[in-house]
Amino acid sequence: MTTENNHYQHLWDDKSYYFPERIDYSIKFGKATSISLLKNAVISTAEKIITNHKNVNLFLSGGLDSQAVLLGFIHSDNKHKINVKLIRFKNLLNDFDFEIGLAACKLYKINYEIIDIDYEDFLKNEYEIYAIRLSTLDPQYTLLLKILEQSTNSSVDVFGLGDFNFRYLYDRDLFIYEESEYVGRFREYCKTFIPFYRYDPNIIASWLADNNFRNFINKKVSQRDWDIFKNVFYSTHFPNLSSRIKITGFEKITKEVEAAKRRVRPLLYSKNIIKEYTYVDYLNIIKG
């Protein structure tokens, strides 16, 4: 994983590497030096990535997080300096997600490359290998590991990930975000991976300081589902982003994914630690 000055750390018992005997898992950020409107922070982060890295691949999906990242590169006048990658599943299994990304490239006249994946074949013949390596059943990160293993150190691979998708626990009347240990293991395998929304401390601080986000976290709005409210969140900064439902890209192959998970689950030898963080926890981390 690549972030500015390697500020975003995954820690096992306060050590920055993975080992099987670990007891605890946690994350750490560098200290923010400035806070701006999220739109400005997105643009600034896009500019930093272009400045710091010669060859930038942007993996574009149809999700709002990913589309906002694209606009960051466009508004920073860097759209011709990125290599846009679109993942397309065989038999149109992720057509809705893929078509949104494709339409954005055509709208903004951006060159793109299509990466064709036979995902059904991946589930049958390769999913188990990558799931065991990461000790996770996550269908997204197992596939990304396969794809990014082909990357070289001469490029970085940017994804619209690292956002704060808080989940509301009704029984505890609390918003929490779960940091999963397998993301840290993924980082160790994929040195070229950039989770855009955690690339530098300032974009993290700007996200946490956003008025709409704070209203959501502080329950000043009626909505408790972030996947729904994020339409309001993004449209404030990027009005040309259309509202859309949350999609994963795996909706048409849900049964096959679940079958693969059941098959592999008994083989996972290492427990995946999940650490809960609250909004206040993140504020304390980013303040150093």
- Enumerate domains of the chain plus CATH numbers: 4-287 (3.40.50)
In this structure, are residues 31 and 286 in contact, taking their beta carbons and an 8 Å threshold? Answer: yes
Residue 273 CB-density burial (10 A; 0-12 exposed, 13-18 middle, 19+ buried): middle
State pLDDT tens for residues 64-119: 999 999 999 999 999 999 999 999 999 999 999 999 999 999 999 999 999 999 99
State pLDDT tens for residues 120-177: 999 999 999 999 999 999 999 999 999 998 887 789 999 999 999 999 999 999 999 9
Mean pLDDT of 247-267: 93
Higher pLDDT, 26 or 244: 26
State pLDDT tens for residues 193-218: 999 999 999 999 999 999 999 999 99
In this structure, are residues 55 and 155 in contact, taking their beta carbons and an 8 Å threshold? Answer: yes
Q: How far is CA 86 from the centre of its chain?
A: 15
Q: What percent of the chain has pLDDT over 90?
A: 88
Residue 244: which pLDDT band, with cuts at 50, 70 and 90? confident
pLDDT at 32 over 90: yes
